[in-house]
Amino acid sequence: MGEREKNGGGISLATLASLSGMEAEELRRLKHVLPPQERGLYPLAKTLAALFKHLRESKSQPVSVRAEELEEITGLTDRRHRQLAAEGFFPPPEKGCYQMLPALVGIIRFYRTSNEKESLQRKRGLLLDKQIEEKQIGIDESLKRLKPVEFFAQKVMSLGAELNGTLNFQLNDRLPALNAGLNAPDQRVNNRKVYLELCRRFREFADQWTS
Protein backbone atom coordinates (compact mmCIF):
# COMPACT_ATOMS: atom_id res chain seq x y z
CA MET A 1 0.00 0.00 0.00
CA GLY A 2 1.45 3.39 -1.03
CA GLU A 3 2.26 6.26 1.33
CA ARG A 4 -0.69 8.34 0.18
CA GLU A 5 -3.02 5.36 0.42
CA LYS A 6 -1.74 4.65 3.92
CA ASN A 7 -2.54 8.18 5.00
CA GLY A 8 -6.10 7.94 3.65
CA GLY A 9 -5.54 10.33 0.79
CA GLY A 10 -6.19 7.88 -2.06
CA ILE A 11 -7.02 4.27 -2.90
CA SER A 12 -5.74 2.05 -5.66
CA LEU A 13 -7.93 0.08 -8.06
CA ALA A 14 -6.79 -3.22 -6.54
CA THR A 15 -7.61 -2.09 -3.00
CA LEU A 16 -10.97 -0.73 -4.09
CA ALA A 17 -11.74 -4.05 -5.76
CA SER A 18 -10.80 -5.92 -2.59
CA LEU A 19 -12.94 -3.69 -0.38
CA SER A 20 -15.99 -3.67 -2.63
CA GLY A 21 -15.87 -7.31 -3.72
CA MET A 22 -16.04 -6.20 -7.36
CA GLU A 23 -13.73 -7.11 -10.22
CA ALA A 24 -11.19 -4.54 -11.39
CA GLU A 25 -12.66 -4.61 -14.91
CA GLU A 26 -16.13 -3.97 -13.49
CA LEU A 27 -14.79 -0.95 -11.60
CA ARG A 28 -13.11 0.38 -14.74
CA ARG A 29 -16.53 0.36 -16.46
CA LEU A 30 -17.75 2.70 -13.70
CA LYS A 31 -15.47 5.53 -14.77
CA HIS A 32 -18.56 7.69 -15.30
CA VAL A 33 -19.43 7.07 -11.64
CA LEU A 34 -16.08 7.22 -9.88
CA PRO A 35 -14.01 10.42 -9.60
CA PRO A 36 -10.86 10.61 -11.80
CA GLN A 37 -7.63 9.12 -10.58
CA GLU A 38 -4.74 11.23 -9.42
CA ARG A 39 -1.35 9.57 -9.94
CA GLY A 40 -2.99 6.14 -10.19
CA LEU A 41 -5.10 6.53 -7.05
CA TYR A 42 -8.73 7.41 -6.52
CA PRO A 43 -9.55 10.06 -3.90
CA LEU A 44 -10.65 7.90 -1.00
CA ALA A 45 -13.65 9.71 0.47
CA LYS A 46 -15.17 10.75 -2.88
CA THR A 47 -14.60 7.33 -4.41
CA LEU A 48 -16.24 5.41 -1.59
CA ALA A 49 -19.15 7.83 -1.44
CA ALA A 50 -19.68 7.61 -5.23
CA LEU A 51 -19.39 3.82 -5.24
CA PHE A 52 -21.81 3.32 -2.34
CA LYS A 53 -24.30 5.70 -3.95
CA HIS A 54 -24.07 3.81 -7.23
CA LEU A 55 -24.58 0.46 -5.52
CA ARG A 56 -27.56 1.79 -3.57
CA GLU A 57 -29.18 3.22 -6.70
CA SER A 58 -28.47 0.03 -8.65
CA LYS A 59 -30.33 -2.05 -6.09
CA SER A 60 -33.34 0.24 -6.34
CA GLN A 61 -33.42 -0.07 -10.13
CA PRO A 62 -35.40 -2.95 -11.67
CA VAL A 63 -33.37 -5.77 -13.18
CA SER A 64 -33.17 -5.31 -16.92
CA VAL A 65 -32.70 -7.76 -19.77
CA ARG A 66 -31.37 -7.04 -23.23
CA ALA A 67 -33.74 -7.43 -26.17
CA GLU A 68 -31.90 -10.41 -27.64
CA GLU A 69 -31.82 -12.16 -24.25
CA LEU A 70 -35.57 -11.72 -23.87
CA GLU A 71 -36.02 -13.26 -27.32
CA GLU A 72 -34.14 -16.36 -26.16
CA ILE A 73 -36.24 -16.58 -22.99
CA THR A 74 -39.68 -16.22 -24.61
CA GLY A 75 -39.09 -17.53 -28.12
CA LEU A 76 -40.74 -14.38 -29.52
CA THR A 77 -39.14 -11.78 -31.74
CA ASP A 78 -38.26 -8.33 -30.45
CA ARG A 79 -40.80 -6.92 -32.89
CA ARG A 80 -43.49 -8.97 -31.15
CA HIS A 81 -42.20 -7.84 -27.76
CA ARG A 82 -42.50 -4.22 -28.84
CA GLN A 83 -46.06 -4.87 -30.08
CA LEU A 84 -47.01 -6.36 -26.72
CA ALA A 85 -45.42 -3.41 -24.94
CA ALA A 86 -47.44 -1.03 -27.14
CA GLU A 87 -50.60 -2.99 -26.19
CA GLY A 88 -49.82 -2.34 -22.52
CA PHE A 89 -48.67 -5.78 -21.37
CA PHE A 90 -45.38 -4.37 -20.04
CA PRO A 91 -43.25 -1.20 -20.30
CA PRO A 92 -41.46 -0.54 -23.59
CA PRO A 93 -37.67 -1.01 -23.77
CA GLU A 94 -35.21 1.70 -22.89
CA LYS A 95 -31.87 1.71 -24.70
CA GLY A 96 -32.52 -1.80 -25.97
CA CYS A 97 -33.33 -3.26 -22.55
CA TYR A 98 -36.59 -4.36 -20.93
CA GLN A 99 -37.48 -4.49 -17.28
CA MET A 100 -37.20 -8.22 -16.75
CA LEU A 101 -39.90 -8.90 -14.15
CA PRO A 102 -42.66 -6.72 -15.71
CA ALA A 103 -41.79 -8.13 -19.16
CA LEU A 104 -42.05 -11.77 -18.06
CA VAL A 105 -45.24 -11.15 -16.07
CA GLY A 106 -46.73 -9.31 -19.05
CA ILE A 107 -45.89 -12.11 -21.47
CA ILE A 108 -47.46 -14.69 -19.11
CA ARG A 109 -50.59 -12.50 -18.96
CA PHE A 110 -50.59 -12.27 -22.77
CA TYR A 111 -50.50 -16.06 -23.14
CA ARG A 112 -53.22 -16.53 -20.52
CA THR A 113 -55.44 -13.97 -22.27
CA SER A 114 -54.80 -15.62 -25.64
CA ASN A 115 -55.73 -19.05 -24.25
CA GLU A 116 -58.92 -17.67 -22.69
CA LYS A 117 -59.92 -16.06 -25.98
CA GLU A 118 -59.16 -19.25 -27.89
CA SER A 119 -61.17 -21.30 -25.40
CA LEU A 120 -64.12 -18.89 -25.66
CA GLN A 121 -64.00 -19.00 -29.47
CA ARG A 122 -63.87 -22.80 -29.39
CA LYS A 123 -66.91 -22.94 -27.08
CA ARG A 124 -68.80 -20.52 -29.33
CA GLY A 125 -67.90 -22.64 -32.34
CA LEU A 126 -69.14 -25.81 -30.66
CA LEU A 127 -72.38 -24.08 -29.63
CA LEU A 128 -72.92 -22.83 -33.18
CA ASP A 129 -72.26 -26.31 -34.59
CA LYS A 130 -74.78 -27.77 -32.15
CA GLN A 131 -77.42 -25.19 -33.10
CA ILE A 132 -76.85 -25.88 -36.80
CA GLU A 133 -77.10 -29.62 -36.17
CA GLU A 134 -80.36 -29.22 -34.23
CA LYS A 135 -81.85 -27.08 -36.99
CA GLN A 136 -80.79 -29.62 -39.60
CA ILE A 137 -82.40 -32.41 -37.56
CA GLY A 138 -85.61 -30.36 -37.38
CA ILE A 139 -85.53 -29.80 -41.13
CA ASP A 140 -84.97 -33.50 -41.79
CA GLU A 141 -87.87 -34.46 -39.53
CA SER A 142 -90.11 -31.92 -41.25
CA LEU A 143 -89.16 -33.29 -44.65
CA LYS A 144 -90.00 -36.81 -43.51
CA ARG A 145 -93.48 -35.64 -42.51
CA LEU A 146 -94.06 -34.00 -45.89
CA LYS A 147 -95.64 -36.05 -48.65
CA PRO A 148 -95.08 -35.64 -52.39
CA VAL A 149 -97.55 -33.82 -54.62
CA GLU A 150 -98.38 -37.08 -56.44
CA PHE A 151 -99.79 -38.48 -53.18
CA PHE A 152 -102.30 -35.62 -52.83
CA ALA A 153 -103.21 -35.70 -56.53
CA GLN A 154 -104.06 -39.39 -56.33
CA LYS A 155 -106.01 -38.91 -53.12
CA VAL A 156 -108.05 -36.01 -54.57
CA MET A 157 -108.90 -38.05 -57.63
CA SER A 158 -109.86 -41.07 -55.52
CA LEU A 159 -112.05 -39.07 -53.14
CA GLY A 160 -113.57 -37.14 -56.02
CA ALA A 161 -114.56 -40.35 -57.76
CA GLU A 162 -116.03 -41.75 -54.55
CA LEU A 163 -117.92 -38.53 -53.86
CA ASN A 164 -119.29 -38.42 -57.39
CA GLY A 165 -120.45 -42.02 -57.11
CA THR A 166 -122.14 -41.39 -53.76
CA LEU A 167 -124.01 -38.32 -55.01
CA ASN A 168 -125.10 -40.08 -58.16
CA PHE A 169 -126.40 -43.10 -56.25
CA GLN A 170 -128.19 -41.16 -53.50
CA LEU A 171 -129.79 -38.51 -55.73
CA ASN A 172 -130.43 -40.34 -59.00
CA ASP A 173 -131.09 -43.91 -57.82
CA ARG A 174 -132.00 -44.16 -54.18
CA LEU A 175 -134.03 -40.99 -53.64
CA PRO A 176 -136.37 -41.42 -56.63
CA ALA A 177 -136.99 -45.01 -55.58
CA LEU A 178 -137.80 -43.97 -52.01
CA ASN A 179 -140.21 -41.21 -53.10
CA ALA A 180 -142.08 -43.17 -55.79
CA GLY A 181 -145.85 -42.97 -55.12
CA LEU A 182 -145.46 -40.92 -51.90
CA ASN A 183 -147.08 -37.63 -51.03
CA ALA A 184 -145.08 -34.45 -50.42
CA PRO A 185 -144.72 -34.80 -46.59
CA ASP A 186 -143.41 -38.38 -46.91
CA GLN A 187 -141.06 -37.34 -49.69
CA ARG A 188 -139.61 -34.61 -47.46
CA VAL A 189 -138.93 -37.26 -44.79
CA ASN A 190 -137.03 -39.34 -47.33
CA ASN A 191 -135.22 -36.26 -48.62
CA ARG A 192 -134.10 -35.58 -45.03
CA LYS A 193 -132.76 -39.14 -44.68
CA VAL A 194 -130.75 -38.87 -47.88
CA TYR A 195 -129.43 -35.45 -46.82
CA LEU A 196 -128.21 -36.83 -43.46
CA GLU A 197 -126.63 -39.80 -45.22
CA LEU A 198 -124.75 -37.47 -47.56
CA CYS A 199 -123.53 -35.39 -44.58
CA ARG A 200 -122.24 -38.56 -42.92
CA ARG A 201 -120.41 -39.59 -46.06
CA PHE A 202 -118.91 -36.09 -46.43
CA ARG A 203 -117.50 -36.36 -42.89
CA GLU A 204 -115.98 -39.71 -43.79
CA PHE A 205 -114.41 -38.11 -46.86
CA ALA A 206 -112.95 -35.37 -44.66
CA ASP A 207 -111.52 -37.95 -42.23
CA GLN A 208 -109.90 -39.83 -45.12
CA TRP A 209 -108.38 -36.57 -46.43
CA THR A 210 -106.73 -35.65 -43.13
CA SER A 211 -105.55 -39.14 -42.22
User: What pLDDT is stored for residue 10 in this prediction?
Assistant: 84
pLDDT average per 10 residues of sequence, the chain (211 residues): 51 83 84 87 86 70 80 88 93 89 85 72 70 68 62 68 75 80 84 82 70 57
Q: Which residues are CB-contacts of 2 (< 8 A; sequence separation ≥ 6)?
A: 10, 12, 41
CA angle 95, 100, 106 (to 5 degrees): 110
Cα separation, 85 vs 115, whole angstroms: 19
Amino acid 92: pLDDT = 93
Instruction: Please state the domain extents for the chain.
Output: 3-60, 63-146, 149-210
How many residues would you count in the chain? 211
Q: What is the pTM of this model?
A: 0.34
Question: Do 20 and 49 form a contact (C-beta atoms < 8 A)?
Answer: no
CB within 8 Å of 105: residues ≥ 6 apart:
90
- Residue 50 and residue 35 in contact, taking contact as beta carbons nearer than 8 Å: yes
In a 13 Å sphere around the CA of 67, the CA atoms on its Cβ side amount to 13
How confident is the model at residue 187, as a pLDDT? 83
**pLDDT given at position 133:** 72
